[in-house]
Each structure stands twice: as structure tokens, then as C-alpha cells.
Amino acid sequence: TKCEIGDSLEEFLTKATPDKGLIRLMMCMGEALRTISFKVRTASCGGTACVNSFGDEQLAVDLLANNVLFEALKYSHIVKYGCSEEVPELQDMEGPAEGGFSVAFDPLDGSSIVDTNFTVGTIFGVWPGDKLTGVTGRDQVAAAMGIFGPRTTYVLALKDLPGTHEFLLLDEGKWQHVKDTTEIGEGKMFSPGNLRATSDNPDYAKLIDYYVREKYTLRYTGGMVPDVNQIIVKEKGIFTNVASPSAKAKLRLLFEVAPLGFLIEKAGGYSSDGNKSVLDKVINSLDDRTQVAYGSKNEIIRFEETLYGSSRLK
Ligand code: P6P
């Protein structure tokens, strides 16, 4: 039967896939996101580190998130390797490789903006078996992000299910299915990251000029999770984070760009590293970085044509 708006996470997943291990994994990660949301809200931030106000975990909030996620992966009993942007090497989660999964995550993206009380998030990608290198983002079986803003949401996509799906954390702690996105249309909204790169990337400067001349609405918080989520929720826009000789690519392919690329493309959007979908880039090392743009088809065509003279999408 069809997944309905209003379903609980478990009802949704049970209708969405026959893979009981994947259902259990996405449920365990939902619990982890609920816990992280609570810790982000209760951590008091003095100086750089945010420490939990209960005093029992004197860890910065992103390390708290890191530990909660590894616990969830172990508890799922279906994950072979877990890998965190905080500790970029494979950690054995003691689950099976055969029929199991490996999960790469950014425990708290934008932790440098927790102290300004901006929205931060968790990103994770799920690959089959025991490989997180020598694979591409298109090999993912699922990807998701947790978004810790005024409300807490869990945005996920599954390989075998069309669309990207948003769940809202209700007061009593249940996740409720609130929105599906299957199209990303046109609309003048842009999130231009890393403007430092325009100093020696004149084509990026040209692209930014275009957005200014066309009076695009600027929506950029410096947190990739909310900045990319807005394209899925508003079903329009373009997010860029471009590199240049003096401003090297910063965003991680495995932990950030591939999972978010999966969510954007399942939502009907497009992604690009300038030449191709970020989902077609082979992950050669856990620490690979890349420039990226996410958006509607026409925005990505403009991005590729402006930066590289032509677009594979035309
Ligand atoms: P810039 C946050 O640290 C992050 O990894 C992403 O969430 C965000 O999009 C990017 O860096 C911000 O980079 O160069 O705009 O400060």
C-alpha cells in the first residue's frame, strides 16, 4: 500500500521497502537524531566547545553526536562499517557485510555555527556491504539528514522509492511523515558558498554576477544542511560551493556531498561538480573533497555552462 502523509516512520518504512535490516537501520538512526536534537538544544556553548549542561559528558556537542551515531549503528546489528567525518577511518560495527550496510556520516555539520544558534544538521549515507571507497554516490541504498532548527526534521530517500521524504519530530517523540518532494522547479533563490573562490575563478564571479543582476533572493546560512534542505522543501533554488586555485574544495564527497546529492536527485533535482552528477564521482579516499552545486535542471545547466562552457544536461 502507498506511503501516506501522516504515517509514522515505521509505517512509512514498512510500506516503502521489504528490507527489514534497512528498516531497522533507518529507525535506529531516527532515534539517534532524536537524541542529538535534544543534546544540541541542551548543550550550553561557552567559547568553542559546547558542553552538555548535565556535566556528565564534557564533550563538544559534535563529539556527543558522533558517539550517539556509532552507538545506533552498533545497536542496529546490520552495519559492518561506520565511518565519521570526525574520525575518518572505518570502524567495525560488528554487523554482517553480506546483506548488511556501511554508513558514512557527518555527525554535526556546521558545528562552528552552533554558538550563533543557527540550524545545524546530521548527514548520513548508506552503502550496501562493506565498501565506502571504490564506490559512487549512486551506489547508496539510502541517504538522510537530520535538521536541528526551530523544529526537528528527518529527511530521507531510499534507492527503490521515488522522492525525498520529510518527517517531523512530534512532541511525544514520534516521527511523522509530513512531506514528499518529487520535483525541483525554477525559482530565483541562491545559496552562494565560498565567495573567496571568485578572486581567482572568474567564471564563478560571472555566475554570482548573474544572480545579482537577475535579483535572485539570497538564502545562505553557512550550514549546508539547512541551505540544501531549503531547495527540497521550497522545490526551487541553487546551492553552490565552488573551488579555485586559492580556495581549495572544502566539502567532503563521502560524508556530505554524495548523501545530499542522493537526496537532491531523488527529490527531482540535479547535482554537479561542474562536469557531472556528484553521484557519478568514484569515492577514491575517505577524505575526498569536491566542489558542488545542487538545484533545478536549468540552474545546473547554467552552472555547468558558465563554469565549463557546456552542459551534459542540454
Ligand atoms: P563557507 C560548514 O562548516 C560547512 O562544512 C558546510 O556546512 C557549509 O556549507 C560550508 O562549510 C560553509 O563554507 O566557505 O561558506 O564558510
Instruction: Quickly list DSSP for 182-214.
Output: -------EEEEE-GGGGGS-HHHHHHHHHHHHT
d(CA 2, CA 221): 36
In the predicted model, what is the mean pLDDT of residues 279-295?
A: 98
Q: Is 121 in the pocket of ligand 1 (CB under 6 A)?
A: no
Q: What is the residue with the minimal CA distance to atom 14 of ligand 1? A: 194
Q: Is residue 277 pLDDT above 70, yes or no?
A: yes
To test the ligand 1 pocket, which listed residue (250, 256, 260) has its Cβ within 8 A of the most ligand atoms? 250
- Ligand 1 contact, 112 CB (< 6 A): yes
146 closest CA partner among 77, 229, 75, 79: 229
Ligand 1 pocket check for 192: Cβ under 6 Å: no
How far apart are the CA of 240 and the centre of ligand 1, in A? Answer: 11
Please give the mean pLDDT across all residues of the chain.
94
Terminal Cα distance for the chain, rounded: 37
Which pLDDT does position 285 carry in this prediction? 97
Ligand 1 centroid vs 220 CA: distance in angstroms? 10
Spatial contact of 284 and 304, defined as CB atoms under 8 Å apart: no
Please state the φ and ψ torsions of residue 194, each to the nearest 5 degrees: 50, 55
Name the residue with higher pLDDT: 107 or 47: 107
Sheet containing 270-272: which strands, arranged edge to edge?
217-218, 189-193, 238-241, 292-295, 270-272
Which of 251, 260, 291 gets mutated to test ligand 1 (max ligand atoms within 8 A of its CB)? Answer: 251
Determine if ligand 1 sits within 6 Å of the CB of residue 202. no
User: Considering only 72-86, 89-103, 113-127, 244-258, which range has the smallest mean pLDDT?
Assistant: 113-127
Mean pLDDT (whole number) for 197-202 = 97
Helices (H), the chain: 9-16, 20-42, 61-76, 202-213, 224-234, 258-266, 297-308
**Nearest Cα residue to atom 1 of ligand 1:** 194
Positive/negative CA dihedral, 285, 261, 263, 155: positive
Quickly state the pLDDT bin for 111 (edges 50, 70, 90).
confident
Q: Is the pLDDT of residue 221 over 90?
A: yes
pLDDT computed for residue 214 by the predictor: 98
Confidence at residue 172, expressed as pLDDT on a 0 to 100 scale: 85
Alpha carbon distance 23, 39 (integer Å): 25
Q: Is the CB of 128 under 6 A from ligand 1?
A: no
Kindly indicate the confidence band of residue 51, based on its pLDDT and cuts at 50, 70 and 90: low
Closest ligand 1 atom, residue 111 Cα? 3
Residue 31 has pLDDT above 90, yes or no: yes
Q: Give the pLDDT score at 269.
A: 98
Tell me the CA–centroid distance for residue 223 and ligand 1, in Å.
6
| Contact call for residues 189 and 236 (beta carbons, < 8 A) | yes
- pLDDT category at 3 given cuts 50, 70, 90 is confident
ipTM field: 0.95
pLDDT of 75 > 50? The answer is yes
Q: What is the pLDDT of residue 58?
A: 45
Distance, CA of 211 to CA of 188 (rounded, Å) = 8
Lookup result for grid cell 553480506: 98
SS3 of residue 284 by DSSP: coil
| CA 81 – CA 139 distance, rounded (Å) | 16
CB neighbour burial string for 271-283, b if at least 16 within 10 angstroms, e if fewer: bbbbeebbbebeb
- Looking at residue 42, what is its pLDDT? 85
222 Cβ inside 6 Å of ligand 1: yes
From the list 168, 230, 171, 141, the residue with the least C-alpha distance to 9 is 168
**pLDDT given at position 109:** 94
Hey, what's the cell of 85? 567525518
Is the backbone of residue 91 left (phi > 0), alpha (psi -120 to 50) or beta?
beta
Q: Which residue has the cell 548573474?
A: 210
Protein residue whose Cα sits closest to atom 6 of ligand 1: 224
Model confidence pLDDT, tens digit, residues 113-133: 887 889 999 999 999 999 999
Cα gap 206→201, rounded to integer Å: 9
The three grid cell numbers given for residue 195, joined into one nine-digit string: 565567495
For residue 2, which of 180, 265, 126, 268 has the smallest C-alpha distance?
Answer: 180
pLDDT at 189 over 80: yes
Q: Which atom of ligand 1 is nearest to the CA of 252?
A: 5
CB 7 less than 6 A from any atom of ligand 1: no
What is the Å distance from ligand 1's center to 222 Cα?
Answer: 5
